[in-house]
Amino acid sequence: MLLRASGRTYDKTYDLAAAVIGAAQGDAGVPHGDLLVAFAEAVLGEDDSALATARNALTTALGPSGLVDAAGVVGLFNAIDRVADATGIPLEPEKAAASADFRTALDLDRFAVAERT
Amino acid sequence: MGLPMNEPFASTASPIRADLAAAHARVWTHLARPGTWWDGAARVAIVAEARQAALCALCRQRKEALSPFAVEGIHDSLGQLPEIAVEVVHHVVTDPGRLGERWYRSVIKGGLTEEQYVEIVGVVAHTVAIDTMARGLGRNVPPPPIPEPGAPSRYRPPGAKPGGAWVSWIEPAEVSEGETGLYPTDRPPANIMMAMSLVPEEARSFFDLVTHQYLPGAVMRDFSREYRAISHAQIELLAARVSALNRCLY
């Protein structure tokens, strides 16, 4: 939802659906979005060679500081997701309303805590 | 002269922001100290067990099964924690997208208190955040910190009670003196901030890490400028993709 809000601020349209499910063609409207998605997927994956490739590509595009911040965000959200899922918190009503359209389009509600109880 | 043992990444020359490096060092010290419901040795054992989970054959079989509960067995653990704690650590690390309330109730029935459970989740979350970042950077994870002696504080917030989550939490109106500063004062706390409020010290520490490794709450929606080497849009794209990979709706 913050990605959508960011896009509105800069009058840009991001291919949210494709970005979320990893099916974007190109950068999904976000500078170096394709490299960022590939990096996130590689960090959470098990292919060290793919990770090295993704890391090098991201460093070339964004520099060492960009790589550090990208790695930090991937690490942080890999943790936040676990806090959310392990404590069974619900999505806040305002966030649910703001994301209803693409959650429906992408069938993301199958991931909801309520569906796992 | 040896490097301090409680400073992750201290041995590497890197462009890591000073505030982030300091936050990681603080976290490593925090994890080694007696917590609220677990002592320092147990907390460091949770750190080690979180790393061990990736090597657990049972977890791998469960991950590949249609239902994780269809596969029975014993975890490949380090043997430093009660088996029920190992079950929590391994499941949260290896298959978070399929955690369910029935499973949560079963581990509470199996002997963990909800306070112990929340603290385990907190220690695991700190560890995952730092270790995943290390993997992204192609670095070795820091060695576990050295446990500090002492007894857990056993502080349960007086206002904690069942709410919207599986675990008890503190509603903003129920914050007492012992939880001062836990929530922002200029806006309602997000549910993720309330999730670990049953163990305020874990929640405080984790959200300090959030501030440095992601963004401070006050600037998450400030799109008038950028605060990191990557933009808001790039940050949120990463966050959204990671959450989708983890099958986390939140």
Is pLDDT above 60 for B3? Answer: no
Mutate to test the interface with B, among A77, A91, A117 (most CBs of B within 10 A): A77
Q: Could you tell me what percent of chain B has a pLDDT over 90?
A: 83
Is pLDDT above 80 for A16? Answer: no
From residue B124, how far is each of A73, B53, B94, B128, B188 by CA, in Å?
17, 11, 11, 6, 26
A107 versus B245: the higher-pLDDT residue is B245
Domain assignment present for B175: no
Domain assignment present for B24: yes
Q: Are residues B52 and B147 in the same domain?
A: yes
Please tell me the distance from the alpha carbon of residue A51 to that of residue A48, in angstroms, as a whole number. 5
Q: Are residues B147 and B238 in the same domain?
A: no
Decide if B96 touches A, using CB distance below 8 A: yes
Q: Which residue has the tokens 């067990």?
A: B49
Domains of chain A, by residue range, sit at 2-116
Is pLDDT above 80 for B110? Answer: yes
Decide if A72 and B214 are in contact by the 8 Å CB cutoff: yes
Range(s) of the domain holding residue B224: 214-250
> Phi/psi of residue B40, each to 5°?
-60, -40
Mean local confidence (pLDDT), B22-39: 98
Mean local confidence (pLDDT), B116-131: 98
Contacts of B195 in chain A (CB under 8 A): 83-84, 87, 89
In 3D, which of A71, A107, A78 has the Cα closest to residue B17? A71
Domain assignment present for B192: no
Q: What is the pLDDT of residue B9?
A: 56
Decide if A112 touches B, using CB distance below 8 A: yes
- Taking only the tens place, the pLDDT of each residue in B191-217 is 999 999 999 999 999 999 999 999 998
Q: Are residues B204 and B250 in the same domain?
A: no
Q: What is the pLDDT of residue A95?
A: 81
Please tell me the distance from the alpha carbon of residue B139 to that of residue B13, in angstroms, as a whole number. 11
Question: Residue B82 is which amino acid?
Answer: P
Q: Please list the helix, strand and coil fractions of chain B in percent, rounded to the nearest 5, in that order.
A: 50, 0, 45
Which H helix or E strand runs over A87?
helix A48-87
Please tell me the distance from the alpha carbon of residue B87 to that of residue B101, in angstroms, as a whole number. 15
- Taking only the tens place, the pLDDT of each residue in A77-115 is 999 999 999 999 998 888 887 777 766 766 666 666 655
Domain assignment present for B79: yes
Domain assignment present for B160: no
Decide if A78 and B138 are in contact by the 8 Å CB cutoff: no
Total domain count for chain B?
Answer: 2
| Partner B, chain A 6-25, Cβ-Cβ below 8 Å | 6-7, 9-10, 12, 14, 16, 19-22
Domain assignment present for B143: yes
Decide if A75 and B131 are in contact by the 8 Å CB cutoff: yes
Q: Are residues B228 and B118 in the same domain?
A: no
Please tell me the distance from the alpha carbon of residue B66 to that of residue B72, in angstroms, as a whole number. 13
Q: Are B213 and B26 in contact (CB under 8 A)?
A: no
- Among chain B residues, the shortest Cα distance to A112 is held by B249
From residue B138, how far is each of A39, A68, B9, B212 by CA, in Å?
12, 11, 11, 20
Q: Are residues B44 and B123 in the same domain?
A: yes
Is pLDDT above 50 for B10? Answer: no
Decide if A111 and B221 are in contact by the 8 Å CB cutoff: no
Mean local confidence (pLDDT), B221-231: 88
In 3D, which of B181, B235, B180, B205 has the Cα closest to residue B121? B205
Domain assignment present for B102: yes
In 3D, which of A21, A78, A84 has the Cα closest to residue B129? A78
Mean local confidence (pLDDT), B138-155: 97
Q: What number is the ipTM of this complex? A: 0.93
Q: Are residues B222 and B209 in the same domain?
A: no
Confidence at B56, pLDDT banded by 50, 70, 90? very high
Mean local confidence (pLDDT), B41-70: 95
Domain assignment present for B61: yes
Q: Are residues B30 and B143 in the same domain?
A: yes
Contacts of B235 in chain A (CB under 8 A): 69, 73
